[in-house]
Amino acid sequence: LGSRIAGALRSMSAKTVMDEETLDEALKEIARALLEADVNVKQVSLLRRNIKAAVRWSELPPGANKRRIVQKAVFDELCRMLDPGEPPLSPERQRANVVMFVGLQGNGKTTTCVKVAYYYKRRGYRTCLVCADTFRAGAFDQLRQNAAKVRVPFYGSYESTDAVQVARDGVEMFRQQAMEVIVVDTSGRHKQEAALFEEMAQLEAAVQPDHIVFVMDGSMGQAAYDQALAFRQRVRVGSVILTKMDGHARGGGALSAVAATHAPVVFLGTGEHMDELEAFRVESFVGRLLGMGDVQGLVKTITESNLQNPDEEQMQRLSQGVFTLRDMQLMYGNLTRLGPLSQVMSMMPGMAEMIPQGSDRETQARIQRIMVMLDSLTAAELDQTPSIKWDESRKRRIARGSGRSLAEVEEVLAQYRTVSKVWGRMGKNMKNMAHGMPAG
């Protein structure tokens, strides 16, 4: 998506005459890219209209950087659409916050309940889980086992088929125990949707949740809007969590869910493990959607993984937008340990262009070759201290040392320059991300 939008903007600025038609063409291409990313049809046309209104083409002064203005308008508009202006889930300490989860079966609701309980547990909340899915065989065991894994107290019943009663009993019991976050998992059977929605409404009335979270598979596609709307019409959805964002999700589902529920996205599920939950940040998400990278996200991922004990200095430098060849070497070395390759790469500005799309195995092989080349660099070259001059003889030495051709060495250096340039812009602009956006 990011590269297509970038492409649309590039072809726009390549035009000698920049008239309204040029803008329309670019917007058409951007709209196509958004549709492909599963953004809802209605939202795409709304987006297009709003961008046009925001850009005010005819009033732009002759010297204005039109490509940049359009890009900023796209960024801002996507951010605006993802922010419904409602407060997200944020449990208060020292009182019972009952959080009920709703969503269709298979979307990752039970997994997400446990992830969220674990998330708040790690932040010092007294957290627990209630299984109000009395419909699906095995629901009880699934939640019980996962709750045990993360050591969160759990309530449920093997025998009962009365979800409302079980939920009421569980919530009551945990209230007595002065729990702070009481997560209620519910059934999500399809095929009998009328009965499901009726049950959700009854549960809402019975346990009086402080907050309702709608869970949806992030790769839902164009069906996302209707599904989210169906839940919103029956229960008071307050937040959205998108799951399976580690897979083929293209991001558009987030916009659909927010538009349908008028509720903000709070987390993204990024894997099957209980700690694979990412707090949602609008600017980072849109930046990634548009292929602009997410410097803060990457720095945070590296810090959290605590790989090769990244030092303060490196983190400081990276977050200020200074990216050296040594950073590139470190990152390639750690790439597979940071998480799924595609996910980490999408956080790195310019990286998608550097490592062409392919299977993880092809990507590995390509990274291996680059690593061998980087191993032939001296410390001064890696840190570029003092400022290194990349003359012919230096490049030849590296080619010889790594058994690659001169052209390949030049390619890696060129790619490094691209990444470090984008990185520099990202770093500088990160602070002002909410107001402006990086050039490029």
Instruction: Note the residues at the interface with Mg ion (CB under 5 A).
Output: 109-110
105 binds ligand GDP (CB under 6 A): yes
d(CA 131, CA 143): 7
Distance in angstroms between the alpha carbons of the first and the last residue of the chain: 16
DSSP state, residue 217 = E
Q: Which residue has the tokens 């409404």?
A: 201
* Closer residue to ligand GDP in complex, CB, 157/415: 157
256 binds ligand GDP (CB under 6 A): no
What DSSP element (H or E) covers 307? none
Tokens at 347, concatenated: 């956080």
244 binds ligand GDP (CB under 6 A): yes
Q: What share of the chain is helix, strand, coil (3-state, %, to 5)?
A: 55, 10, 35
* Closer residue to ligand GDP in complex, CB, 55/242: 242
Q: DSSP string of 242-270?
A: EE-TTTT--SHHHHHHHHHH---EEEEE-
Residue 395: exposure state from Cβ atoms within 10 A (0-12, 13-18, ≥19)? middle
Q: How many residues bind ligand GDP (CB under 6 A)?
A: 17
Q: Which of 238, 252, 271, 350 binds ligand GDP (CB under 6 A)?
A: 271
- How many residues are given for the chain? 440
d(CA 364, CA 362): 5
* Closer residue to ligand GDP in complex, CB, 154/323: 154
Q: Which of 19, 64, 106, 151 binds ligand GDP (CB under 6 A)?
A: 106
CB of 217 to ligand GDP, least distance (A): 8
**C-alpha neighbours within 13 Å on the C-beta side of residue 280:** 26
The answer to whether 280 and 268 are in contact (CB under 8 A) is yes
43 binds ligand GDP (CB under 6 A): no
DSSP state, residue 208 = -
Of 202, 6, 244, 263, the residue nearest 108 (C-alpha): 244
Q: What does 244 bind: ligand GDP, Mg ion, none (CB cut-off 5 to 8 Å by kind)?
A: ligand GDP
| Residue least distant from ligand GDP (Cβ) | 269
Of 395, 396, 428, the residue nearest 414 (C-alpha): 395
* Closer residue to ligand GDP in complex, CB, 106/403: 106
Please provide residue 56's backbone torsions phi and psi, each rounded to the nearest 5 degrees: 45, 65
Q: Which of 2, 103, 321, 427 binds ligand GDP (CB under 6 A)?
A: 103
Please provide residue 101's backbone torsions phi and psi, each rounded to the nearest 5 degrees: -105, 135
CB of 106 to ligand GDP, least distance (A): 5
Q: Which of 71, 127, 243, 314 binds ligand GDP (CB under 6 A)?
A: 243
272 binds ligand GDP (CB under 6 A): yes
Q: What does 103 bind: ligand GDP, Mg ion, none (CB cut-off 5 to 8 Å by kind)?
A: ligand GDP
**Could you give the 3-state DSSP secondary structure of residue 290?**
coil
* Closer residue to ligand GDP in complex, CB, 180/217: 217
327 binds ligand GDP (CB under 6 A): no
CB of 103 to Mg ion, least distance (A): 9
The answer to whether 74 and 9 are in contact (CB under 8 A) is no
Q: What does 246 bind: ligand GDP, Mg ion, none (CB cut-off 5 to 8 Å by kind)?
A: ligand GDP
CB of 111 to Mg ion, least distance (A): 8
CB of 215 to Mg ion, least distance (A): 9
188 binds ligand GDP (CB under 6 A): yes
Q: What does 269 bind: Mg ion, ligand GDP, none (CB cut-off 5 to 8 Å by kind)?
A: ligand GDP
| Interface ranges with ligand GDP (CB under 6 A) | 103, 105-111, 188, 243-244, 246-247, 269-272
